[in-house]
């Protein structure tokens, strides 16, 4: 599997480019900005992007949906509960002093248990709400892409509309921590970690963390 991490947009979002080495078919996870950087990387790697996948609908993970879709013709995928964010991402971004276009509507909704297949790569969809109602994680071959559900040593904020602290903690415990300690966790911001490290040291799961206020 080809895996490239691109840190994009003003909020330094991790955008992941996944590709099949045999077929060169690919998916882009969370294109949060800098569309030209993403597109040039796709071209350099000689990949054919079939899917644009948003782990959730916040604008810092979706800002480049429109130019990337225009450049690749890829299907845009998101959980139904977060799809409404896409139509108002320009408004959300403007409240942070950031100006972007709204996203196109999704081509298809994804939900728990769905499989997204491109070449020899299969992503299993795990519904992991809490940071947002329709947050998903994507699991394949000892790696999981978790959006803003989990970070190295922390968790996603739950004070945004639709967020819920208890739901997020339960999502991580039941959907991510059960994948195996050796699974590498690729979050929406910051460095990669492992399930084992977060189970042992993340203060939100060892009794030393505090909810976001």
> What are the domain boundaries of the chain?
2-201
Rg (CA), the chain: 16
What whole-number distance in Å separates Cα of residue 91 and Cα of residue 48? 31
Sheet holding 121-127, edge to edge: 115-118, 121-127, 136-140, 143-147, 184-187, 193-194
50: helix, strand or coil:
strand
Return the percentage of the chain with pLDDT > 70, whole number. 97
Angle CA 27–145–87, to nearest 5: 65
> Residue 209: is its pLDDT beyond 80?
no
Tell which residue, 89, 74, 83, 86, has the closest CA to residue 29: 74
User: 2-201, what's its fold?
Assistant: Metallo-beta-lactamase; Chain A (3.60.15)
For position 212, what pLDDT does the model report? 42
Pairing of strands 115-118, 121-127: antiparallel
pTM equals 0.94
For position 210, what pLDDT does the model report? 52
What whole-number distance in Å separates Cα of residue 204 and Cα of residue 156? 11
Task: Give the mean pLDDT of 188-201.
Answer: 97
- Residue 107: count of CB within 10 angstroms of its CB: 13
């Amino acid at each position: 599997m080809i895996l490239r991490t691109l840190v994009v947009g003003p909020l330094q979002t991790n955008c992941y480019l996944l590709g099949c080495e045999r077929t060169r078919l690919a998916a882009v996870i969370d294109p949060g900005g800098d569309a030209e950087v993403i597109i040039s990387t796709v071209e350099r790697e000689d990949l054919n992007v079939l899917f644009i996948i948003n782990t959730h609908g916040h604008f810092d993970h979706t800002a480049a949906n429109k130019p990337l879709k225009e450049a690749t013709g890829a299907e845009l995928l998101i959980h139904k509960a977060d799809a409404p964010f896409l139509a108002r991402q320009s408004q959300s971004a403007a409240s942070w002093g950031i100006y972007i276009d709204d996203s196109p509507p999704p081509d298809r909704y994804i939900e728990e248990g769905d499989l997204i297949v491109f070449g020899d790569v299969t992503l299993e969809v795990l519904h992991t709400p809490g940071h947002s109602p329709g947050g998903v994680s994507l699991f394949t071959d000892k790696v999981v892409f978790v959006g803003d559900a989990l970070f190295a040593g922390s968790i996603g904020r739950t004070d945004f509309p639709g967020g819920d602290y208890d739901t997020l903690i339960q999502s991580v415990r039941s959907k991510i921590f059960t994948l195996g300690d050796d699974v590498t966790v690729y979050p929406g911001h910051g460095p990669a970690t492992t399930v084992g490290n977060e189970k042992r040291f993340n203060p939100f799961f060892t009794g030393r963390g505090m909810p976001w206020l």
